[in-house]
Amino acid sequence: MRTQVGIVGAGPAGLMLSHLLHLSGIESIIIEDRSREYCENRIRAGLMEHWVAQMLIETGVGERLKREAMVHDGIFLAFNNEAHKLDFAKLIDKHVYIYDQKEVVTDLIAHRLKQGGQIRFEVEGTSVHDFAGNGGKPTIRFKHQGKAQEIECDFIAGCDGFHGVSRPSLPVGSWQGYDRVYPFGWLGILSESPPPEKELIYAYHERGFALFSMRGAELSRLYLQVAPDEDIEQWSDDRVWDELTTRLQGVRPLKRGKVLQKGITPMRSYVTEPMQYGRLFLAGDSAHIVPPTGAKGMNLAMADVRVLARAFEAFFRKHDTAGLETYSATALRRVWKGQRFSWWMTQMLHRVHGGEYAGFDTKRQLAELDYVAGSEAASISLAENYAGLPID
Ligand code: PHB
């Protein structure tokens, strides 16, 4: 097979890239090791920045989003038994959208296939080759339905997530990883119950952080700060509900319901620099991951491919390589701001139990929350980062 851009991974980054390239008349083929059903049903992050929703709508894949997404004016910060609303609509005239990543993936897969786009699901043994210099032809090798296959392309886009093959294929010494692991994890549930508020509640509590999110009027997505090595077997549904209720005590009543799904999310920050080598470009989680407290994961992936699609367009239309040369630097400026914000939200809201400075840090966190909720300048700073920094 031959194509202009070979894309590894059918997540939001790979699919959106393929979609944007198609709109610019550029061909791509996506390969993905999971099944279509798996990609469409994996529950992931649910919060979308204002401009991402706009981009989906403007590029013709926002019909269902317009009908089904929940549009939020802001978020609540809860501490000292009180919930404080940060009203983004009032502060910065922006909204955020609740629309699960799996819905974005479902919409993009359907749209790409309808337009004749090529996606190969359930491939095995993917590897990327000959992307180093200008001599060779970048090649993606894999097995599909038991048969060895090869895609020859002008460029490879590695959109295959944190555990994918693309990042480890960058030559040793050509890149550096910046890592930060946090001393806690999130235990998340999806439940058949009404969320306690119309919008999200980020709750600071002496027993640990809790987040009250949602997927619908009768569908809650709720998270608890737990130990990073927490054993999920120790958490019966009743124990999860008791702990969520405790951490929301005095703020809102919490209705219980059937738990549909339960899992633990690791908390880690990671950045690859640069996000490119030769004609292999990384985008999304293959290059960087954030702790979920800032709700940035999918949004940063979308920002990467927006920059990358424009760079490819300039190359194929005008042989202009400037955008490709600056892709990594341009993407990383936004990535690091997303990292900074995600780290900041995480350190403000999570309890560190024990240690020399635990007492001081608790008081300092409460002062920070009080400051953010009480100062218009600080509220705006949170709002503009949360709802999405401007795109150029
Ligand atoms: C979610 O709804 O899954 C969600 C929302 C906001 C976050 C993290 C997760 O910060």
Q: Show the tokens assigned to 267.
A: 């908390």
Contact 45, 335 (CB under 8 A): no
213 lines ligand 1 (CB under 6 A): yes
Count of domains in the chain? 2
Specify the ligand 1 atom closest to the Cα of 345.
10
Cα(304)–Cα(298) distance, rounded to whole angstroms?
10
Question: Rg for the chain (alpha carbons), in Å?
Answer: 21
> For position 353, what pLDDT does the model report?
87
Residue 150 maps to which CATH number? 3.50.50.60
Cα(223)–Cα(213) distance, rounded to whole angstroms?
8
Residue 71 β-bridge partners: 97
> For position 354, what pLDDT does the model report?
87
Name the nearest CA neighbour of 248 among 204, 198, 293, 214: 204
Specify the ligand 1 atom closest to the Cα of 188.
3
Residue 292 annotated to the active site:
yes
Decide if 51 is inside a domain: no
Decide if 306 is inside a domain: yes
Decide if 209 is inside a domain: yes
Specify the ligand 1 atom closest to the Cα of 43.
3
SS3 282: strand
Same domain, 227 and 256: yes
295 lines ligand 1 (CB under 6 A): yes
SS3 342: helix
Decide if 70 is inside a domain: no
Domain termination residue (choose one: 210, 240, 266): 266
- Helices (DSSP H) in the chain: which residue ranges? 12-23, 36-41, 50-58, 63-68, 88-92, 101-114, 166-169, 237-248, 297-318, 322-349, 358-374, 376-386
Same domain, 36 and 162: yes
Q: How buried is 360 (Cβ within 10 angstroms: 0-12 exposed, 13-18 middle, 19+ buried)?
A: exposed
Decide if 252 is inside a domain: yes
> For position 44, what pLDDT does the model report?
87
Q: What is the CA(203)–ligand 1 centre distance, in A? A: 13
Same domain, 185 and 326: no
Decide if 39 is inside a domain: yes
Domain termination residue (choose one: 197, 232, 266): 266
Same domain, 34 and 18: yes
185 lines ligand 1 (CB under 6 A): no
SS3 30: strand
> For position 135, what pLDDT does the model report?
77
Contact 312, 320 (CB under 8 A): no
Name the nearest CA neighbour of 83 among 190, 182, 205: 205
User: Cα-Cα-Cα-Cα dihedral of 262, 264, 267, 273, to 10°?
Assistant: -90
Per DSSP, the residues of 145-187 read TTEEEEEEEEEEEE---TTSSHHHHSPTTS-EEEEEE-S-EEE
> For position 312, what pLDDT does the model report?
98
Decide if 246 is inside a domain: yes
297 lines ligand 1 (CB under 6 A): no
Closest residue CA from atom 2 of ligand 1: 46
Give the tens place of pLDDT for each residue, 150-186.
999 999 999 999 999 999 999 999 999 999 999 999 9
Residue 50 annotated to the active site:
no
> For position 133, what pLDDT does the model report?
76
Same domain, 215 and 157: no
Same domain, 115 and 7: yes
Q: Which of 72, 95, 102, 350 is catalytic?
A: 72
Cα(387)–Cα(94) distance, rounded to whole angstroms?
7
> Which residue, chain included where needed, has tokens 């996506």?
30
> For position 144, what pLDDT does the model report?
96
> For position 43, what pLDDT does the model report?
85
Residue 19 annotated to the active site:
no
Diameter over CA atoms, the chain? 66
Decide if 362 is inside a domain: no
Same domain, 169 and 189: no
Give the tens place of pLDDT for each residue, 358-380.
999 999 999 999 999 999 999 99
| CA atoms within 13 A of residue 366's CA, in its CB half-sphere | 12
Same domain, 148 and 291: yes
Same domain, 11 and 113: yes
Same domain, 135 and 235: no
Closest residue CA from atom 9 of ligand 1: 45
Same domain, 170 and 109: yes
Task: Give whole-number Cα distances, 358 to 47, 350, 353, 365, in Å.
Answer: 31, 11, 6, 10
pTM check: above 0.95: yes
Give the tens place of pLDDT for each residue, 102-145.
999 999 999 999 999 999 999 999 999 999 977 789 999 999 99
Same domain, 225 and 331: no
Residue 182 annotated to the active site:
no
Spans in the chain with pLDDT lower than 70: none
75 lines ligand 1 (CB under 6 A): no
Q: Show the tokens assigned to 264.
A: 């633990």
Residue 201 maps to which CATH number? 3.30.9.10
Q: Show the tokens assigned to 358.
A: 């635990």
Residue 296 annotated to the active site:
yes
Domain termination residue (choose one: 241, 266, 291): 266
Q: What is the CA(388)–ligand 1 centre distance, in A? A: 15
> For position 138, what pLDDT does the model report?
97
Cα(45)–Cα(319) distance, rounded to whole angstroms?
37
Domain that holds residue 115: 2-46+100-175+274-343
> For position 57, what pLDDT does the model report?
98
